[in-house]
Amino acid sequence: MIKEELNIIKVGGAIVEDEDSLKGLLMSFSGLHGKKILVHGGGKIATEVASKLGIETQMIDGRRITSAEMLKVVTMVYGGLVNKDIVARLQALGENAIGLTGADMNLIMSVKRPVELINFGFVGDVKYVNTRSLKSLLEVGAVPVLAPLTHDKEGTMLNTNADTIASSVARALSEEYSVTLTFCSSIPGVLRDLKDPSSVIRTISKADFAPMVADGTISEGMIPKLQNAFDAINDGVAKVVITSPSDLSGGTTILADPETDD
């Protein structure tokens, strides 16, 4: 059986927070044919709103410590302000956008991260993606716009990393669709030379990964991003791409491991 194609685009905070970049991204996204899902961040706006409300933002390893007060802020900013702004703009472009969190239709259930060395507070690790409900929305022609929020199914919202949401949803929906998962940021792909945006490496396989980390071609934030991409592609996602909003069909494509007979 040939599976229908589904595009899942994850767009980072830096793009959502810049008027021109967001406009470009939404234009590119609305140009995609067929079924699609947009997953967005919005951390910088959350930090700004928190600051205005007198709530201090504390980050550890790039992750937000989410107190009860900060949870209210991210629920407002991600689930309300950023999400509905994107939905209204996509609607203006003729897209049947529907803005959702993991709580809505129990789309993404997570568990509050256990306290080990660090207490991240109200942060959720994804446990379950409701493939059936997501599919039912896609089948009626809706275009889900997912905020980086989940819930514990016990009445509490949880703050959840947007990359994780995108790859969890991509993996779960790969049972039903041929999924292309695209991580969109201001960097046009994995670069051979960080100072040269034209040095995009077109394809990377798992075999290339370790040597490229060793020689420093891949470093810092790109390491977990690629790890995430390899996990997705080895878990059934048809294609993973790292690119910028203006070039959704370009960027770096992550290659699956060669098929084995196990």
What does the binding site for a copy of itself look like in residue numbers (CB under 8 A)?
A: 49, 52-54, 72, 75-81, 83-85, 87-89, 91-92, 96-101, 103-106, 133, 136-137, 140, 142, 149, 151, 153-157
Determine the 3-state secondary structure of 110 from DSSP: strand
Choose among 25, 31, 34, 26: nearest CA to 7. Answer: 34
Smallest distance from a copy of itself to CB 23, Å: 10
Smallest distance from a copy of itself to CB 90, Å: 9
What are residue 212's phi and psi, to 5 degrees?
-70, -30
Smallest distance from a copy of itself to CB 204, Å: 37
Q: Tell me the chain's radius of gyration from C-alpha atoms.
A: 18
> Closer to a copy of itself at the Cβ: 154 or 215?
154
How far is it, in rounded angstroms, from Cα 229 to Cα 237?
9
Cα(first)–Cα(last) distance of the chain, in Å?
22
Smallest distance from a copy of itself to CB 24, Å: 15
Choose among 136, 185, 132, 142: nearest CA to 163. Answer: 185
> Closer to a copy of itself at the Cβ: 93 or 118?
93
> Closer to a copy of itself at the Cβ: 149 or 204?
149
How far is it, in rounded angstroms, from Cα 182 to Cα 174?
14
Residue type, 185: S
Judge residue 54's burial from the number of C-beta atoms within 10 Å of its C-beta, 0-12 exposed, 13-18 middle, 19 or more buried: exposed
Smallest distance from a copy of itself to CB 200, Å: 32
> Closer to a copy of itself at the Cβ: 122 or 230?
122
> Closer to a copy of itself at the Cβ: 123 or 204?
123
